[in-house]
Structure 1
Amino acid sequence: MTTSSMRKNIAEQAIAFLGEAYYELGKTEEEAKRRIEEVLKQLEDTGYYTHTYEELRHGAKMAWRNNNRCIGRLFWQTLEVFDARDIVDELDAAKRIFQHMSYATNGGRIRPAITIFPASHSQNNIRIWNHQLVRYAGYREGEVIIGDPDSAAFTAVCEKLGWSGEGTRFDVLPLVISLSGKSPKWYELPKENVLEVALTHPENQEFEQLALQWYAVPFISDMELEIGGIMYKAAPFNGWYMGTEIGARNLSDTSRYNQLPSVAKLFQFDMSTNTSLWKDRALTELNVAVLHSFKKQGVSIVDHHTASEQFLRFEKQEQEQGRAVTGRWSWLIPPMSPATTGIWHRSFDDTERTPAYRVQAVPY
């Protein structure tokens, strides 16, 4: 049961959310007042309240629209919202996740979606232990990590639970979920729900020798969704990749796959001096390969120049609706040639607005 101060805080957030959401949904003032009265009565009786599907759906879209770190917010209204608040056990939850993955992947024509599980105060609340539903394992062998170093800790957790991978650089980790604080269970992801893209280069045929690949859909699965004071600790969501997320971060960061030296050697760039700009040239070629490969295989992706233009269109649309756009500049600028985009020359208010997606502590 909530304390009186918590209940008051939820009530304030609920009133603010319902007022804004019902206005945007074209509801009358009377409808909004009536709904607020119902919610306040629920809060008085139980300490919490339950969103209608319409509120849940619009609240999730608003949370995407409010996300300060996301450059792809132009498409917030297209988000498909799956209501999984009625799950009965871990297997049921896993099946809902697999259904989400199938819908979103869509043979490569990726569709943005979110699946929302029971609120954190519910008896059947679940936690998804994965950072992303699809992620590659990282196996620690002494001082060396085979695969993705960013997954090393979670990979060790999966192995303790009984999972065993093949030990390659690109082993897909299992889904790990826990229900109501019970011991976690793991499930292999169905192969048909995991679309992967082998990387090739449009001009250098030897690029294939690097044997690089990446998964098609970024399913973020460890963030908390808050709508009108109600918390949902399991709400996996996805959009599609901006190429630089893969080519300039996942595959390039020295703390990740660190592939710039390999690419530079392949293209025979002069690596003896920084003034040759071999890292910059290798970064460009790797990003060219990512965009080329995704497009060649019919998988949705956006380059960072187009994404930046789309964000500025989003900002203009929001201004026309009388809404100020907040953002975290360090996240909105792309990690490659940021000064060539319109966002570089802007500044943004980083105030967090609600509804919101928030980082939460890992459960392991």
Structure 2
Amino acid sequence: MLQDKATAFIIEMHQALNINENKTKSRIQEIKKEISQTGTYTHTTEELEYGAKVAWRNSNRCIGRFFWDKLIVRDLRHIDSESSFINAIEDHIETATNGGKIKPMISIFSNHFEIMNEQLIRYAGYNHIGDPKSKKFTQLAQHLGWQGQGTEFDILPLAYRIKNQTFKYHTYKTVIIKEVQITHDQYPDLEKLNLKWYAVPIISNMDLEIGGLYYHTAPFNGWYMETEIGVRNFTDEYRYNKLRDIATAFHLDTTQTSSYWRDRALVEFNYAVYHSFKQSGVSIVDHYTASKQFMKFEENESKLNRKVTGKWSWLAPPLSPSLVHNYHKGYDNEMRSPNFLYKKKQNVCPFH
């Protein structure tokens, strides 16, 4: 029941912020009245900011929660025009990138707007080139009229619609998209592969749930952990699948498993990703440091008598996992509110 969820959220927030009990009761009564009259209620900006931050704190799959209270929350529910919406999206990209010193940020729009992108910035995927994960979205963008150059790293456009009207696309200004060339200081042949990755992962396919209300358009970002790029994006077989090419650039013997070429290439390539980002002045964290930060997060939460939930398979890094503490622990995967939730798939054709 919406009233129960709203009440639980207000009580939790007011206790955490040491807000007067009379104000708590008053706010709960306001919400109860609004729900009885309209069937829903409206968060204040303060409630939205607190809820978004706690949603990050409750995100079971995120190893970067140590910084949950540093999230910059942009309340953009007032935006109602198409041009203002597009400007706000591009401003999020530019402001969050911050010249490379990435700021964790969320932009919360009204539900009049809908974004189809999985991330605001992604590379296109064609039949035999690019990111296979993006194939369906690339087809959608092409259907809308977008045409890429057919390279491995074409930046996809923003695909969106307003108030359930037809979908449209918007091509970003190139100047706001920062990318990093991946090189290795000891293996110059890696540069010949012309690998690169965009600086900021801005998730745009999740709902933000706060006190029973769902914000369907709330793109948010932190910064990359190097293994997300160096292990998953580039070497998963169903993604760019570049491990053998990388190993060859490192002059490793790929003819036999006993050479451990996969493992050696993976370590050196993640080293290359991390240092390439650092040399380009772009924020990134290595998996050891991220794990230590998560341990500190657990300690902080314990002091406040808050239980840390988590999804183990996401918290254990995909490179040398047994060397970090997360690997040796179990976590309760209970979902708590507020939180970020994957959208329910709907049987709606985006072409009509």
Question: TM-score range, shorter-chain basis?
Answer: over 0.9
Instruction: Give the number of aligned pairs.
Output: 347
Within a 5 Å distance, the mapping from 1:164-313 to structure 2 comes to 164-313=147-296
* Code of the aligned partner of 2:159: V
Identity, % of aligned positions: 49
Within a 5 Å distance, the mapping from 1:42-191 to structure 2 comes to 42-118=34-110, 120=111, 125-140=112-127, 145-191=128-174
Corresponding residue for residue 318 of structure 2: 335
Paired residue secondary structure (2:341): strand
Distance 2:8 2:307 in 1: 17
Q: Which runs of 5+ in 2 are unaligned?
A: none
Distance 1:110 1:132 in 2: 16
* Code of the aligned partner of 1:157: L
* Code of the aligned partner of 2:27: R
Distance 1:25 1:185 in 2: 42
Distance 2:55 2:185 in 1: 38
Distance 1:361 1:204 in 2: 45
Paired residue secondary structure (1:169): coil
* Code of the aligned partner of 2:301: E
Distance 2:259 2:81 in 1: 57
CA contact (8 A) 1:90 1:185 kept: no
CA contact (8 A) 1:247 1:290 kept: yes
Out of 7, 32, 57, the position equivalent to 1:40 is 32
CA contact (8 A) 2:56 2:340 kept: yes
Corresponding residue for residue 23 of structure 2: 31
Paired residue secondary structure (2:126): strand
Paired residue secondary structure (1:116): strand
Q: Which runs of 4+ in 1 moved over 3 A?
A: 361-364
* Code of the aligned partner of 2:305: G
Q: Which runs of 5+ in 1 are unaligned?
A: 1-8
| TM-score, structure 2 normalization | 0.97
Distance 1:23 1:251 in 2: 45
CA contact (8 A) 2:189 2:250 kept: no
Paired residue secondary structure (2:129): strand
CA contact (8 A) 1:90 1:177 kept: no
Paired residue secondary structure (1:197): strand
* Code of the aligned partner of 2:329: R
